[in-house]
Structure 1
Amino acid sequence: MSSSMPLASVASELPGPPPIGAAIRDRRRRLGMTLKGLAEQCGLSVPFLSQVERDLAMPSLVSLTSIAGALGVDMSYFVGSPQQSQIVRRGDDPEHLHLGGSPVVYERLSGRHEERKMEALLITVPPGLASPPTHREGEGFWYLLQGELDVWIGQEHFHLRAGDSAHFDQRHSYRMRNGGEVDVRMIWVGTPALL
C-alpha cells in the first residue's frame, strides 16, 4: 500500500464498520446542522471537521467525544457494532406504532438504527377508513397484500388490488380509502425514515 494513498481510499479497502466520517456527516445533516454549527458546539475547526467527514483525518478520542456530544449521541454510535435488534426484525417480536386512537395498525418492519434512510411498515387499514390528503418529503412505495384500496396522488385516481403497487413522490398530495368490506394489508416503504 502506498504511503501517499489517502485515508479514504485505505478505509474503503479495509473490512469492518463504515468510516467514522460518513457517520458524523449523516448524523449532522439529519439534525440540520452546518459544519460551522458543529465546529462551534464541539470546539474544533471547520476545516478539520470537513477533513474528518471525508475520512481524510482521524479525530482523537477526546475530539470524537466532543463531536458525539455535539451531535447528541454516545461514542459507541461511531465505533460500536449495531445490535442484532437494529438489523434483524423477528416475526414473533413485532413492534407496533400507536398513533393516538387511530384504528389503523402500523407494524415496523425496518431496523431500529438511527441513521436508516428509509422506513418499512406493515399497515392494516380497516374497511370504510379514508385518510385526509397529506404529503411529506421523499418517496413512497405501497404494495397491497390483501384487499382493495382507492388511492389519489395529485389529481390521479388509482384502484389497487392485492399484488398491485404504487411508487411515487410523496411531495405530491396523496390520500387513500378502503371502500371494501375487508381489511387492507399493505407494505409501505418510504423515505426519509420516521422518527
Structure 2
Amino acid sequence: MNIGEKVKELRNKRGLTLKDMSEKTGLSTGFLSQFERGITTIAVEHLYNISRVLNVKINYFFDDEEKELVIRSYEQSSIHQLNKTIYKSLSRYPEDKMISPELVELLPKEDHQYPEVYAHNGEEFVYVLEGILTLIIDDKILKMYPGDSAHYLSTQKHNWDNRTNKVVKFITVHYPKNI
C-alpha cells in the first residue's frame, strides 16, 4: 500500500471527506484525490499537516507492511502519567484503531478524598489484575478485586481510585479511543 492509499484508508476510517481534508490542510480536493490515487507526490510539510489532521505520527505512512502485532511486556512504555497514575498503551499501532486498550497502574496516595467523577461519550471496560480498585459510578462506590471486570457507558459519571497502600493494576479499554 502506498502513502496515498494509507492516507485515504485513514481518512475514511475517521469519516472525513476530501472536502474536509482540504479545509483542514489547505490543499485542494483535486490534489488530495490525485495523491490518494498515487498520481502525484506530496511535499513532506504537506504530509506532516495531513498526519496531524489524521492524528498519527508522520512515520505511520512509512512503516513497513509487515508490522509486528505483539507488544512484549518489556516493550511497554508509559504513554503518560497523571496524579499518581501511570498509563501504558497495549496497542502497538493505535493510530488506525477504534479502541484504546491500556494498562493502568494506580499508585498509593496520601490524599484519601474520592476523586471527582466525570462523564464523556463512549463506553469503557475495566479488568482488575492486581490490588483492590475502587470504581465510582454515579453515586455508587464499588470495590473490585483481581479477576473482576466492569463494562459501562462513559456517559455515566465515573472515576477510579486506589484506597489502599499497594499498587492497583488494571486493564481498561475505551471506545472510542482516547485522543
- Answer yes or no: same fold by TM over 0.5: yes
Residue 38, structure 1, aligned to residue 25, structure 2: no
Q: Deviations 1:22-68 (Å, cap 9, x if unpaired)?
A: 333124x4xxx5542324533235xx96xx9xxxxx72431x74895
Amino acid at match of 2:71: R
Aligned to 1:88: 70
Residue 170 (structure 1) aligned with residue 154 (structure 2): yes
What SS is found at the alignment partner of 1:188?
A: strand
Larger Rg computed on CA atoms: 1
Query: Is the 1:127–1:180 Cα contact (8 Å) retained in structure 2?
Result: yes
Q: Deviations over 1:126-184 (max 9, x none)?
A: 23564321233221110011222221212333221111111111122102222233221
Alignment RMSD (CA, Å): 3.5
1:186 matched to 2:179: no
Which segment drifts farther, 178-187 or 126-135? 126-135
Asked if 1 retains the 8 angstrom alpha-carbon contact of 2:19 and 2:29, the reply is no
Match among 103, 117, 130 for residue 133 of structure 1:
117
TM-score scaled to structure 2, two decimals? 0.69
Q: Tell me the residue number matched to 2:55.
A: none
Residues 185 and 39 of structure 1: is their aligned pair in 2 closer, same or farther, counting only changes over 3 Å? closer
**In 2: Cα distance, 1:44 partner to 1:75 partner:** 23
Runs (5+) with no aligned partner, structure 1: 1-15, 53-57
What is the percent sequence identity of the aligned residues? 20
Residue matched to 2:101 = 120
Amino acid at match of 1:182: K
Gapped runs of 5+ residues in structure 2? 53-57
1:182 and 1:76 mapped to 2: Cα distance? 38
Indicate conservation of the 8 Å contact 1:68/1:75, yes or no.
Answer: no
TM-score, structure 1 as length reference: 0.65
Structure 2 counterparts to residues 6-155 of structure 1, below 5 A: 21-27=8-14, 29=15, 34-39=17-22, 41-44=26-29, 59-62=37-40, 65=42, 71-72=50-51, 77=61, 81=65, 83-84=67-68, 87-99=69-81, 102-128=83-109, 130-155=114-139
